[in-house]
């Protein structure tokens, strides 16, 4: 029972050989996670140790309770602008409360099975805000890269950029040298030592150079944030009040939404790399629990980390054990080597985050979407610019609203309502809109073919098309709904108006109606108003029914010959009628 609840059979047939693979991948990812955890924390405006605490606690819990076998959780670059903004506006203690509340929201999203909603967020919006976050991260590291002093941190991009130009004169050549050494090492050592993380080598080499060649010339983690303690903080319950909950509900939602997007995207990528399939709702619940517990130990919000998850897979991970080991490795390194981490220069952290920003920028996809020059390009650019110059919340909201508007416009354009008649040249006598002319159109039967979803964006056009084209009042109105996959209540309202107005003097027949529209008509009572006997599977059956209910007197002498039965009904000689019909068609 415990295995079903906690482990969902993910450790079935687990072997010593599998553990050895998980051990190797867990150690590698754990080593990579340490500099990233500290860097993300510093960039988020909090002390570096809080990033390590998050890596340990959230990393273990997400692997243990999440829905992906290979997901590595912890602090990520995507959260940096969000967390920095919350710290600047609300303070660190309130960040912990917002993270806890975000965890509750994530857990509830999983409980209510909202994991599949990720597929409804369009790619231009995701690429737009991801690229915007990357630009913000990159810009935020320029002061540390250059070793600028006196720089004030702001919540928004432009004031921070302005600070760089104002204090550019304070650039420290030693900091620039340290950053360049680290950057070159990060970029080129993976080719020489593919098994060793480039970021770790970069930190080690640049720290040694700064420590021994020009000591006390560059700012370090220790000089800026104090010594990193070698133990986990004590369990501490944040002071949660109703007033704070109301005050922090918006940032909590932002944390939850971004966390869900990042974690599920990472899980999807992991599925693609391994051929496995994650449980999205379970993943959200695991992420939620991790974010609820981590703040009690001073940890910041966490989510699935795509780069570390990919590294985990590439190093041979078999199960979530690798993620648990990664958290334990970070804990051991914290206990044994924390004092040494305080000597790391901030200039060494900057290029690591810049490389992270460059890798997460999705520049190739961004350019590909941009060069299409479609409505999606507009959504991409607007989301990107709002993320950079305003904030992520506004960017996503506006991006989604634009997407909905454009989608409605596209669906409205897809909706086609056309008057049709059978084509006698077609063996199956399929209906065709080109058959309808002023001289070839039955005065007593009007047939309309409706194609596309009949929803609020297209309902008015549908109604106007029919009302504007029915100049004379026919006896029978046939509506072909075989290509209407969906109908909403607005569409039903316009549909009902046409049916009820026409029913005062004629008969309405429906052919080929799909299950969803039929279900809606039954619920609203319109189905019974029309009458079950007036619904047909095929248009031919509806036409046969309609011809039986014609006013035969009006047919006498008619020369439209819209249907094959018209020659006999009109009283015209059959051969003459056929000649006239062919002449009208041609």
pLDDT digit string, tens, across residues 277-328: 899 999 999 999 999 999 999 999 999 998 899 889 988 899 999 999 999 9
Picking from 296, 276, 292, 265, the residue whose alpha carbon sits closest to that of residue 62 is: 292
pLDDT at 584 over 60: no
Go through the domains of the chain in sequence order and give each one's CATH number.
Answer: 24-403 (no CATH), 418-585 (3.30.750.24)
pLDDT at 10: 65
Q: How confident is the model at residue 3 (pLDDT cuts 50, 70, 90)?
A: very low
Q: How far apart are CA 512 and CA 490, in angstroms?
A: 21
Q: How far apart are CA 151 and CA 423, in angstroms?
A: 78
What SS3 state is found at 216? coil
79-94 average pLDDT score:
92
pLDDT, tens digit, 9 for 90 and up, residues 527-553: 999 999 999 999 889 988 988 888 888
Q: How far apart are CA 227 and CA 40, in angstroms?
A: 17
pTM over 0.85: no
Q: How far apart are CA 391 and CA 384, in angstroms?
A: 10
Contact 98, 252 (CB under 8 A): yes
Residue tagged 């200039």 (tokens): 347
Tokens of 335: 């206990």
Contact 187, 153 (CB under 8 A): no
pLDDT at 2: 42
Q: How confident is the model at residue 273 (pLDDT cuts 50, 70, 90)?
A: confident
pLDDT, tens digit, 9 for 90 and up, residues 487-528: 999 999 999 999 998 888 889 999 999 999 999 999 999 999
266-286 average pLDDT score:
91
Tell me the pairing of strands 507-511 and 476-483: parallel
428-434 average pLDDT score:
76
pLDDT, tens digit, 9 for 90 and up, residues 345-388: 999 999 999 998 998 888 999 999 999 888 999 999 999 999 99
Q: Which residue has the higher pLDDT, 191 or 3?
A: 191
């Amino acid at each position: 029972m415990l295995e079903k609840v906690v482990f969902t059979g993910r450790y079935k047939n687990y072997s010593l050989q599998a553990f050895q693979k998980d051990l190797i991948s867990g150690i590698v990812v754990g080593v990579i996670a340490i500099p990233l955890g500290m860097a993300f924390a510093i960039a988020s405006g909090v002390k570096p140790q809080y990033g390590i605490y998050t890596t340990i606690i959230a990393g273990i819990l997400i692997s243990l309770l999440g829905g992906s076998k290979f997901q590595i959780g912890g602090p990520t670059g995507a959260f940096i602008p969000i967390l920095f903004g919350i710290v600047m506006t609300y303070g660190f203690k309130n960040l912990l409360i917002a993270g806890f509340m975000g965890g509750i929201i994530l857990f509830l999203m999983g409980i209510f099975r909202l994991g599949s909603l990720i597929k409804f967020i369009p790619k231009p919006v995701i690429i737009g805000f991801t690229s915007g976050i990357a630009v913000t991260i990159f810009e935020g590291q320029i002061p540390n890269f250059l070793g600028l002093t006196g720089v004030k941190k702001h919540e928004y991009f432009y004031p921070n950029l302005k600070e760089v130009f104002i204090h550019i004169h304070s650039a420290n050549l030693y900091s620039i040298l340290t950053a360049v050494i680290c950057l070159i090492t990060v970029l080129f050592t993976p080719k020489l030592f593919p098994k060793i993380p480039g970021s770790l080598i970069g930190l080690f080499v640049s720290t040694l150079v700064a420590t021994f060649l020009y000591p006390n010339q560059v700012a370090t983690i220790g000089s800026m944030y104090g010594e990193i303690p070698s133990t986990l903080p004590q369990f501490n319950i944040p002071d949660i009040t109703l007033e704070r909950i109301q005050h922090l509900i918006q940032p909590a939602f932002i944390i939850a939404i971004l966390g869900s997007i990042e974690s599920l995207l990472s899980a999807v990528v992991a599925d693609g790399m391994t051929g496995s399939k994650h449980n999205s709702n379970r993943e959200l619940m695991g992420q939620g629990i991790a974010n609820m517990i981590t703040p009690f130990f001073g940890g910041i919000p966490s989510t699935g980390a795509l780069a570390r998850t990919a590294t985990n897979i590439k190093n041979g991970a078999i199960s979530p054990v690798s993620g648990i080991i990664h958290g334990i490795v970070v804990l051991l390194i914290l206990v044994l080597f924390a004092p040494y981490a305080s000597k790391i220069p901030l200039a060494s952290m900057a290029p690591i985050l810049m490389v992270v920003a460059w890798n997460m920028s999705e520049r190739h996809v961004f350019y590909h979407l941009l060069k299409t020059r479609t409505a999606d390009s507009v959504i991409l650019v607007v989301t990107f610019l709002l993320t950079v110059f305003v904030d992520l919340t506004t960017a996503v909201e506006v991006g989604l609203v634009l997407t909905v508007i454009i989608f409605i416009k596209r669906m409205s354009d897809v909706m086609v309502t056309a008057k049709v008649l059978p084509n006698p040249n077609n063996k199956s006598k399929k209906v065709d809109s080109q058959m309808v002319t002023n001289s070839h159109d039955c005065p007593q039967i009007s047939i309309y073919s409706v194609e596309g979803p009949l929803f609020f964006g297209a309902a008015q056009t549908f109604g106007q098309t029919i009302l504007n084209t029915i100049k004379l009042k026919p006896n029978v109105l046939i509506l072909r709904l075989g290509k209407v996959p969906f109908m909403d209540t607005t569409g039903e309202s316009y549909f009902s108006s046409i049916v009820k107005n026409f029913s005062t003097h004629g008969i309405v027949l429906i052919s080929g109606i799909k299950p969803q529209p039929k279900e809606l008509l039954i619920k609203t009572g319109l189905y019974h108003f029309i009458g079950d006997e007036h619904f047909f599977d095929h248009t031919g059956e509806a036409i046969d029914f309609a011809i039986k209910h014609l006013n035969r007197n009006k047919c006498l002498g008619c020369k439209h010959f819209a249907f094959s039965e018209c020659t006999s009904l009109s009283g015209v000689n059959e051969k003459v009628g056929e000649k006239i019909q062919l002449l009208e068609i041609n």
